[in-house]
Amino acid sequence: MIEHAVIPCTFERHSKAILDIFNEVIRNSTALYDYQQRDLDSMRGWFEGKEKNEFPVIGIENSDDELLGFGSYGTFRAWPAYKYTVEHSIYIHKDYRGHGLGRVLMQELIATARQKELHSMIGGIDASNTGSIALHEKLGFKHAGTLYQVGFKFGRWLDLAFYQLLLDTPEYPVEE
């Protein structure tokens, strides 16, 4: 395991590093079903949305304060009855994948979701991403279904697998 610290990310300190990670993933993988690289202005809006909705952006830095990866969650669906459910994502810098950092980030996101009294975490994972699927299964996520051929990238159809973790929170859910 790489020496690291788990930290909250901010626009001022981390937007460029997060942008670099996002754009590498967009260019080279199916972890994001996106074609166009993002720009710094999009990061401002992304961070503002996270802050407005009180969604975490959690990062991992090494001893040189380099961002090695980050994770967050956000709205699953925009109707009130879904208020206890979030969809999460984690991304690791290409040079640091396979060192257990994704597990650390997921555990932090799960702990934060419990603290926020959420009940269900959803991960939408490209069905060919066996590493991410294995990580989710090790953390107790269950396969909740696959949507076939819903994405098209790199000249092929992509299947999106959904993994779900049910939390023991909130103790007293309400309808409001």
37: left (phi over 0), alpha (psi -120 to 50) or beta: beta
Q: Is residue 109 part of a domain?
A: yes
Q: Is residue 78 part of a domain?
A: yes
Which of the four pLDDT bands, split at 50, 70 and 90, describes residue 1? low
Provide the CATH number for the domain around residue 146.
Answer: 3.40.630.30
Q: Is residue 175 part of a domain?
A: no
pLDDT surpassing 80 at residue 147: yes
How far CA 38 is from CA of 23, 25, 26, 52, in Å, comes to: 6, 11, 9, 21
Kindly state the tokens that stand for 13.
């300190």
Q: Is residue 43 part of a domain?
A: yes
pLDDT for position 3: 86
DSSP letter, residue 3: -
Compute the distance between CA of residue 72 and CA of residue 90 in angstroms, rounded to an integer. Answer: 7
- Average pLDDT score over residue span 129-158: 98
User: For 89-136, what is each residue's pLDDT tens digit?
Assistant: 999 999 999 999 999 999 999 999 999 999 999 999 999 999 999 999
Range of the structural domain that residue 12 is part of? 5-166
In the block, residue with structure tokens 């257990």: 100
Q: Is residue 158 part of a domain?
A: yes
User: What does residue 44 show for φ and ψ, rounded to 5 degrees?
Assistant: -60, -50
Answer yes or no: pTM beyond 0.75.
yes
User: For 50-71, what is each residue's pLDDT tens digit?
Assistant: 999 999 999 999 999 999 999 9
In the block, residue with structure tokens 């092929």: 156
Number of domains in the chain: 1
- Say if residues 73 and 121 touch (Cβ distance below 8 Å): yes
Percent of the chain with pLDDT strictly greater than 90: 97
Q: Is residue 172 part of a domain?
A: no
DSSP of 39-61 = -HHHHHHHHHHHHHTT--EEEEE
User: For 66-91, what is each residue's pLDDT tens digit?
Assistant: 999 999 999 999 999 999 999 999 99
Percent of the chain with pLDDT strictly greater than 70: 99
Q: Is residue 24 part of a domain?
A: yes
